[in-house]
Amino acid sequence: MAEPAPPGAVGDEAVRRVLRERIVVVLVRPLQSGNVGAAARAMKNMGLRRLVVVAPPAFDLDRARWMAPGAEELLDHAAFTATVGEAVADCRYVVAATARRRHSPWPTMDSEACAARCFEGEGPVAILFGPEDHGLANDEIAHAHALVHIATDSHASLNIAQAVLLLGHCIHAEARRRGFVPRVEGAGRRGGPGRGAAPMATEGRRPAPLGDLEPLVGEWMDTLEISTYLAGHEPLLVQSTLRRLLQRASLDAGEVSILRGQLRKLRWKMRS
């Protein structure tokens, strides 16, 4: 059950607009096009839509799209700029994600505080992520109001797409706390039901009576007999074990019918 929205929660649609319009993910000098695609996919997972790529040394859109199944439109609508200054020009607040501690006394926050800050005030908030090798340079961090450190154990270096996903998850959790209700859209092209697929019905589902399971048990035993499995096992023990498993599975009539059809097909194939 979702937690109740705290005082001052702005409601589902308003929070959705913050996620999709006001939070800007800025990838600075990313070295690998695949990481840009993976970051776009992470953004799509967490409800974020605005992507800016700053001065990539070499960018292969096809490679990026290959790593962003279901999130290709974020790449198609991404902005490309030459400098961080251009990327954050319309933002009211800028946070720089960095694993390194800086010598200057810079304001710092953790991931949860960064997520909360994204929903405060007006205007876009930009989050800067540096390149895979050395992270953000000091002149790039100079555009930020604060630094955010993602809590890790002994190894602080994160892949850029991992960092986007972790911060994005914190932002998504904060959005839910403020009243955002995620929309189930499926898993896209790779696995899972696609967008618009009907969820599996659970309410009103009636398990098949035990009498309907007996023909299934019989067909299963016939199949095991043909496969020679029963040659090394006690048939009554196998049958009772199978019956308990099927009872515990609580199959409905449609599922029993599917299994019987599969077993008939297997027996036909084995006999052929």
> Residue 260: which domain range?
210-271
The predicted pLDDT at position 233 comes to 87
Which residues share a beta bridge with 158?
none
pLDDT confidence band for 185 (50 / 70 / 90): low
Q: Are residues 136 and 217 in the same domain?
A: no
The predicted pLDDT at position 91 comes to 93
Q: Are residues 128 and 44 in the same domain?
A: yes
Of residues 41 and 192, more confidence is placed in: 41
> Does a structural domain hold residue 6?
no
Q: Are residues 225 and 90 in the same domain?
A: no
Q: Are residues 173 and 217 in the same domain?
A: no
Q: Are residues 159 and 61 in the same domain?
A: yes
Of residues 145 and 153, more confidence is placed in: 145
The predicted pLDDT at position 151 comes to 77
The one-letter code for the residue type at 127 is I
pLDDT confidence band for 8 (50 / 70 / 90): very low
Q: Could you write out the DSSP letters of every residue in 174-241?
A: HHHHTT--PPP---TTSSS--TTPPPPP-TT--BPPHHHHHHHHHHHHHHHHHTTGGGGS-HHHHHHH
CB 140 within 8 A of CB 94: no
pLDDT confidence band for 154 (50 / 70 / 90): low
> Does a structural domain hold residue 201?
no
Q: Are residues 56 and 172 in the same domain?
A: yes
Phi/psi at 2 (nearest 5 deg)? -70, 145
In this structure, of 56-60, 183-187, 256-260, the range with the lowest mean pLDDT score is: 183-187
> Does a structural domain hold residue 66?
yes
Report the mean per-residue pLDDT for the chain.
84
C-alpha to C-alpha distance for 262 and 268, rounded to whole angstroms: 10
Helices (H) and strands (E) in the chain, counts: 11, 7
Tell me: pLDDT of 171 over 90. Answer: yes
> Does a structural domain hold residue 218?
yes
High-pLDDT (> 70) share of the chain, % = 84
In this structure, of 53-57, 170-174, 186-190, 260-264, the range with the lowest mean pLDDT score is: 186-190
> Does a structural domain hold residue 196?
no
Q: Are residues 18 and 143 in the same domain?
A: yes
Q: For residue 59, with 0-12 CB atoms within 10 Å meaning exposed, 13-18 middle and 19 or more buried, which class applies?
A: middle
Q: Are residues 157 and 88 in the same domain?
A: yes
Tell me: pLDDT of 85 over 80. Answer: yes
Of residues 48 and 233, more confidence is placed in: 48
How many CB atoms neighbour CB 232 within 10 A?
Answer: 6
The predicted pLDDT at position 189 comes to 44
Q: Are residues 267 and 147 in the same domain?
A: no
Tell me: pLDDT of 106 over 80. Answer: no
C-alpha to C-alpha distance for 47 and 169, rounded to whole angstroms: 9
Of residues 152 and 107, more confidence is placed in: 107
CB 188 within 8 A of CB 232: no
CATH number for the domain spanning 223: value is 1.10.8
Boundary-marking domain end, from 123, 156, 177: 177
> Does a structural domain hold residue 220?
yes
CB 39 within 8 A of CB 25: yes
179 Cβ contact partners less than 8 Å away, ≥ 6 residues apart: 5, 9, 10, 11, 12, 15
Boundary-marking domain end, from 177, 200, 232: 177
Number of domains in the chain: 2
Q: For residue 100, with 0-12 CB atoms within 10 Å meaning exposed, 13-18 middle and 19 or more buried, which class applies?
A: middle
Q: Are residues 230 and 96 in the same domain?
A: no
The predicted pLDDT at position 156 comes to 61
C-alpha to C-alpha distance for 133 and 153, rounded to whole angstroms: 19
Q: Mind listing the pLDDT tens digit for each residue in 191-217?
A: 444 444 444 444 456 788 878 888 988
Average pLDDT of span 55-69 = 92
Average pLDDT of span 126-132 = 93
Boundary-marking domain end, from 133, 157, 177: 177
> Does a structural domain hold residue 54?
yes
Tell me: pLDDT of 101 over 70. Answer: no
> How is residue 90 annotated by DSSP?
T
Average pLDDT of span 248-269 = 87
3-state secondary structure of 135: coil
Q: Are residues 133 and 261 in the same domain?
A: no
Q: Are residues 30 and 154 in the same domain?
A: yes
High-pLDDT (> 90) share of the chain, % = 46
CATH number for the domain spanning 136: value is 3.40.1280.10
> Does a structural domain hold residue 78?
yes
